[in-house]
Structure 1
Amino acid sequence: MTALAHPVPESPPTSRGARLRRPRVRPALAGLLVATALLYLVGLGSSGWANAFYSAAAQAGGESWEALFFGSSDPSNAITVDKTPAALWVMGLSVRIFGLSSWSVLVPQALMGVASVALLYAAVRRVGGPAAGLLAGGVLALTPVAALMFRFNNPDALMVLLLVAAAYATLRAVERGSAKWLVLAGVAVGFAFLAKMLQAFLVLPAFGLAYLVAAPVSLGKRLLHLLSALAAVLVSAGWYIAVVELWPASGRPYIGGSQTNSILELAFGYNGFGRITGNEVGSLGGAQSSGSWARLLGSEMAGGIAWLLPAAVLAFGALLWLTWSAPRTDRTRASAIVWGGWLLVTGLVFSYMSGIIHPYYTIALAPAVAALVGLGAERLWRQRANPVAAGILSSGVVLSALTAYLVLLREPDWQPWLKYFVLLLGLAAAALLLVADRLPRAAARGVAVLALVATLAGPAGYTVATAATAHSGAIPSAGPASRGFGGGTPGGGRGGIGSLLTTSTPGQALVSRLRQDSGAYKWAAATVGSNPAASYQLAADVPVMAVGGFNGTDPAPTLAQFQEYVAHKQIHYFVGTGSSMGATSGSDDAQEIAEWVAQHFTATTVDGTTVYDLTS
């Protein structure tokens, strides 16, 4: 107990160059990054457009600089996507450089995944050493929800990369009390806000607390540096908000996801506090029932993130205990605060929020889980001669094996042997860890490898299955194709809410019809909802107006505006979706437009789809 109650102060960290000169580190790091790249890139094109909603916006940005800047759904700039567009800037520029294809849209996300693993390694290595960094990077790469989202084109990939970069910069700032590094962390968080808005700010309490506690400068300087970093956050996030808010509404597209054409409403309402309270005007569903601490371990979330989540919480507690009597500036404790605070704040918000939440959101937890597992395992292994440290390490392996068993129990038709293999191997490794300090060095290393296999076999298998499955639609899910989700959107089909959330591939006759004289019109077609509009736009490569935005509940355009567009021959066709609005709030303009078109224009059927010629 003495070693735990009064831990030996950390020796000064070795320099980066010295560590990388260790003979096995460079090849191991290179192998990790190459393996991650293969995992995230091989077969990437099988997902097609993935989330066609964002692919269509990337297509628009590849054709129009205005669409790129605002994040418009179409190159004629009717309405934006319901997010700030930082992720679309990356995809749109890729489309401009390489042309429109599934690969030009998806490869940037995969490369962000590789960069996230590299940055996480660098952040953890600075405190825990190369072994901890490699383990953390490997855990992140093999987290199923990470493989899902780094092979997909939602904004989460860019947000995670920027937040890992911010964590790295924060830890660099803590080392010497550097205002420069802390400001860089603030800039990274600010741009993460431009990828996915307020969700990016959930890491700020942890980063600020770590610097306030551990930076080796006076309290006054720490507070001043934190104020500077906060200013950097506000400037790097706020410049875009200010530009869009001050831009004349008549000279830009409508701000999708808002009811008042305001990016402030989008950022702090529909995509901000509304996600916590459930008060999201224009949502297709009302507030959800209250969450609970077990939500992240439930059936929807578990497959993506649950595998090492209990072990990460245990590691966080162990790191705080191990460093309890250490000096204020102890870097291991500071690192634990950064990653543990990230995990706790984000995890609690996800667990109890009453607004829209999808399983893939949990990618925001993956870097923190991976870092805590890497730091905790390395530190406990180093102190395994102490029975308490060995007991905590053994408990972590048992927790991970049991969690994997319970997650895999929900997959009776997929690799049914794996859950028993993981459980039995985990129990055996946990028992051997209790006596590892008494074994010869080679045998002890064998036990460590055994524990590593037991811990990672479940998530690794699930991750490979996720990567081998094509994913499309608005709500992808991690896991094997045998689950029946296929990454698609629940509730799909004809009519109802589902048809607003799914995409389809239109027939060639309909594509030819949409292309007919398309150059003579500002929009070749209009249809209710962004996902149906994206399907037609991507297939025909013509501008398609998404009436009502993503949910069909934005007042854009109004019926009067739409009638004016028709009168001035700016829209050629209106494509019926058969959808009925399922929103509990928001605008009815899209429904009114669909009804007006049906009353005043003749319907024809092309490839089983209802089409109205608005110029007839």
Structure 2
Amino acid sequence: MLYSWNLSGSGLNSFYSAAVLSGTESWKAWFFGSLDAGNFLTVDKPPLALMVMGLSCRVLGYGTWQMMAPMVVAALATIWILHSCVKRVFGHAAAAVAALVLALTPITVAINRDNNPDTLLVFLMVSGAALALRATRDGRLLPLLGSAACFGLAFNTKMLQGYIALPAVFVVYLYAARPALAKRIVNLLLAGVVLAVSSFWWAAAVSLVPASERPYIGGSTDGSASNLIMGYNGLGRIFGGDGNGGGGGGGGFSGTAGLGRMFNDILGGQISWLIPFAGIALVGGLVLCGRAPRTDLTRAALVLWGGWTALHYLTFALAEGTMHPYYTTALAPGIAALCGGGGVMLLRAFRADRRWVWVLPLGLGVTAVWAAVLLRRASGWNTWLWPAVLVVMALAIAGLFVFRSGASGLRLRLLAVSVAAAIAAAVAGPAAYAWSVPSSGAGGGMGGTNPTAGPSTGGGFGGPGGGSGGGRGFPGGGMPPGGQNGQNGQGAQSGQAPGGAGGMPPNGTGGTASDDASGTRQSGRMGGGMGGGASSELISYLKKHQDGATWLLAVSSSQGAAQLILSSGEPVISMWGWSGSDKAMTLARLKELVKNGELHYVQLGGGMGGGPGGGGSTVSSEVTAWVQKHGTAVKESDYSKSTNSATSSGSSSGSSAQSDQSAIYRLDPSDVS
């Protein structure tokens, strides 16, 4: 219910919505992950998640439910797989707790209602971890190869982020698997081959296609998949740069980099509720394992999920590049498994050994206190909840001590009630945050570009750390086109089309709008969950005068292009990509498109395209100067009945009255010398 309720009224990420739509119109766009069906530029991620959503929409038709159905299924399957994995090692009770914690993690609820690729990423990584643990337990090769294939597919969902947990998987299998050491090493080498094939098949296929016959790979600096892997979606995320910003701010979305980032005002309410308990459960569980045999599965599971959690925590906490709050959903499975498995181990030790009688109550007490801190950060929001959490947890801990010993049926039942009350108090805060998501859209008030859960609790570029306030973030990472640090997510130019909604399906209607200087319209969320879009008058004009061109218009950024693609159903060129640093459009390429009659209209500067500084200042300046010199500025009065014709004038040179660099220009083959 949390993952699917009111999906049709939620706002999705227009960037990915447009790419999915393009994939339903062109198999080439589907394979490459192109933003537009004309295949000029791809999104800045590998295409696996888009492929899955695109296939669903090809079969069922394009729309919110059709797009999100496979993501909701993947989210539910992740819970089931984690439950099954934890149950095999720690039992039914531990599995139930782990499933509950994962299902109610606030940021997980928010992202599972969104078309960002993280839901599929987590599903594939959890599948890989579960198969690796099965291979460790059974000593069989096939599950290990399946694990490698899953992590390889995770790479094709979000590239290097899909590898974060791999060191933990490697260590666990190498140390704890049943076969002899030589056999374990051989098996890992074979798994490495599978990992390489499942990871790099798409990048290899892209490299085999001549650059002139494939779209520019968005997010790269040279149009290649290898550059995207190592740069923008690789080391750039850790150290900044390559379109990811830098200086420790995480692109401004998640606060300053540092070990305490997960607990700050932005991320705390999204992911940190049970991190302290998970840490205590991990350490306690490992100590309780003592000198167990090398192949002990309980210790192997603790090391795997503990390593998963630690590796993700350190990566996200210390990343100086783009760091969106929703990335932290990858922490949730590790936290959930440790709370379930380690928590049950602490409960057993609490009952059986006086030396351990203080550990479980300490973990529960810390959890309640931290929950109260997080809830108090949301001023005026459910003010009754934090006292209730403290009172219920205090009573539950008292019940644990009172009914700790004894084997009578009544005492066991009262002990079970105390445990249930402690669990309820521990998840009450996350559940309240999670419950707020369906009522406010895909990701609270942040929309599909930067989904979060719960109330507003802190600042940050792209809006606060909660769902109810502030501007919107950007899915591609880095700064918005033309933006400066500190400007929130509507973009640097006042005319930029809104980015938080998912974009309207072609021929959609609804919503209200007000014209801006460039003739675009800033629309509110519209019906059907795919809202937002550009002026219908402008789109009608461009379609009427398209004259057989492949692309309806070329704009500066992917945000503007996505809105136009969704509103018009036609291919639209994004010249500089999402972060504004792509060098997809060169002057030579533009002249070629115009000469061949494939493109007639270019919008410069603001409006739907963002600022003019994309693609490298030299390249963009050349394009801008040439378009202004050779193009004919379109009068706004030509397509907008409500506009005074005196506000714009036609000209074939750069002296047009539309000197704000947000004009639309008409170009014809005769304009190319």
**Distance in 2 of aligned mates of 1:482 and 1:343:** 25
**Distance in 1 of aligned mates of 2:98 and 2:231:** 35
2:416 alignment counterpart? 445
SS in 2 for 1:612: strand
2:430 alignment counterpart? 459
**Distance in 1 of aligned mates of 2:549 and 2:356:** 71
2:591 alignment counterpart? 563
- Whether the 8 Å contact between 1:553 and 1:588 is mirrored in structure 2 is no
Residue 387 of structure 1 deviates from its aligned partner by 3.2
Residue 586 of structure 1 deviates from its aligned partner by 4.6
SS in 2 for 1:574: strand
- The aligned runs of 1:16-55 (5 Å cut-off) are 38-48=1-11, 50-55=12-17
Letter in 2 for 1:129: G
Residue 502 of structure 1 deviates from its aligned partner by 2.7
**Distance in 2 of aligned mates of 1:128 and 1:543:** 53
Residue 413 of structure 1 deviates from its aligned partner by 2.5
2:300 alignment counterpart? 334
Residue 496 of structure 1 deviates from its aligned partner by 4.2
1:367-422, Cα deviation, whole Å (9 max, x unpaired): 11111101012222233222344422212211221221111122112212112211
Letter in 2 for 1:556: A
1:333-374, Cα deviation, whole Å (9 max, x unpaired): 100111000111111111112111111110110111111101
Match of 1:208 among 151, 170, 173: 170
Match of 2:208 among 231, 235, 246: 246
Match of 1:259 among 211, 221, 225: 221
CA distance 1:234–1:457, change in 2 (3 Å): same
CA distance 1:614–1:390, change in 2 (3 Å): farther
- Whether the 8 Å contact between 1:397 and 1:429 is mirrored in structure 2 is no
**Distance in 2 of aligned mates of 1:512 and 1:396:** 62
- Whether the 8 Å contact between 2:602 and 2:665 is mirrored in structure 1 is yes
- Whether the 8 Å contact between 1:497 and 1:581 is mirrored in structure 2 is no
Match of 2:499 among 502, 516, 520: 502
Residue 140 of structure 1 deviates from its aligned partner by 0.6
1:510-532, Cα deviation, whole Å (9 max, x unpaired): 23223325471110111111111
Unaligned runs of 5+ in 2: 250-255, 456-465, 475-486, 501-531, 644-661
**Distance in 1 of aligned mates of 2:142 and 2:546:** 52
- Whether the 8 Å contact between 1:521 and 1:572 is mirrored in structure 2 is yes
Instruction: Pick the structure with more helix per residue.
Output: 1
CA distance 1:587–1:214, change in 2 (3 Å): farther
- Whether the 8 Å contact between 1:390 and 1:433 is mirrored in structure 2 is no
- Whether the 8 Å contact between 1:69 and 1:89 is mirrored in structure 2 is yes
CA distance 1:598–1:314, change in 2 (3 Å): farther
Matched, 1:157 2:187: no
- The aligned runs of 1:580-591 (5 Å cut-off) are 580=611, 586=616, 588-590=618-620
- The aligned runs of 1:129-208 (5 Å cut-off) are 129-208=91-170
Letter in 1 for 2:577: G
Letter in 1 for 2:311: V
1:478 alignment counterpart? 453
**Distance in 2 of aligned mates of 1:259 and 1:381:** 54
Residue 425 of structure 1 deviates from its aligned partner by 1.9
CA distance 1:104–1:391, change in 2 (3 Å): same
CA distance 1:128–1:227, change in 2 (3 Å): same
1:611 alignment counterpart? 664
Match of 1:491 among 467, 488, 491: 488
Bigger shift: residues 123-132 or 470-479 = 470-479
SS in 1 for 2:241: coil
Matched, 1:601 2:632: yes
TM-score normalized by the length of structure 1: 0.89
TM-score normalized by the length of structure 2: 0.81
- Whether the 8 Å contact between 1:391 and 1:434 is mirrored in structure 2 is no
1:33 alignment counterpart? none
Letter in 2 for 1:602: A
CA distance 1:519–1:123, change in 2 (3 Å): farther
CA distance 1:53–1:115, change in 2 (3 Å): same
Match of 1:434 among 391, 397, 401: 401
2:326 alignment counterpart? 360
1:475-496, Cα deviation, whole Å (9 max, x unpaired): 2222247731486667134634
CA distance 1:424–1:595, change in 2 (3 Å): farther
**Distance in 1 of aligned mates of 2:585 and 2:472:** 31
- Whether the 8 Å contact between 2:246 and 2:320 is mirrored in structure 1 is no
SS in 2 for 1:235: helix
Match of 2:568 among 523, 527, 540: 540
- The aligned runs of 1:407-426 (5 Å cut-off) are 407-426=374-393
Matched, 1:82 2:44: yes
4+ residue runs over 6 A deviation: none
SS in 2 for 1:288: coil
1:317 alignment counterpart? 283
- Whether the 8 Å contact between 1:295 and 1:301 is mirrored in structure 2 is yes
**Distance in 2 of aligned mates of 1:548 and 1:482:** 29
SS in 1 for 2:389: helix
**Distance in 2 of aligned mates of 1:479 and 1:598:** 47
CA distance 1:143–1:494, change in 2 (3 Å): closer
**Distance in 1 of aligned mates of 2:467 and 2:314:** 31
Matched, 1:406 2:373: yes
**Distance in 2 of aligned mates of 1:76 and 1:157:** 28
**Distance in 1 of aligned mates of 2:35 and 2:386:** 44
Letter in 1 for 2:160: L
**Distance in 2 of aligned mates of 1:108 and 1:315:** 34
Q: Give the superposed CA RMSD.
A: 2.3
**Distance in 2 of aligned mates of 1:47 and 1:105:** 13
CA distance 1:100–1:45, change in 2 (3 Å): same
Residue 437 of structure 1 deviates from its aligned partner by 1.4
SS in 2 for 1:334: helix
**Distance in 2 of aligned mates of 1:64 and 1:52:** 18
Match of 1:288 among 244, 248, 267: 248
**Distance in 2 of aligned mates of 1:487 and 1:545:** 23
Letter in 2 for 1:453: A
Residue 100 of structure 1 deviates from its aligned partner by 1.3
Bigger shift: residues 126-135 or 285-294 = 285-294
Matched, 1:374 2:405: no
1:308 alignment counterpart? 274
Residue 444 of structure 1 deviates from its aligned partner by 0.5
- Whether the 8 Å contact between 1:109 and 1:157 is mirrored in structure 2 is yes
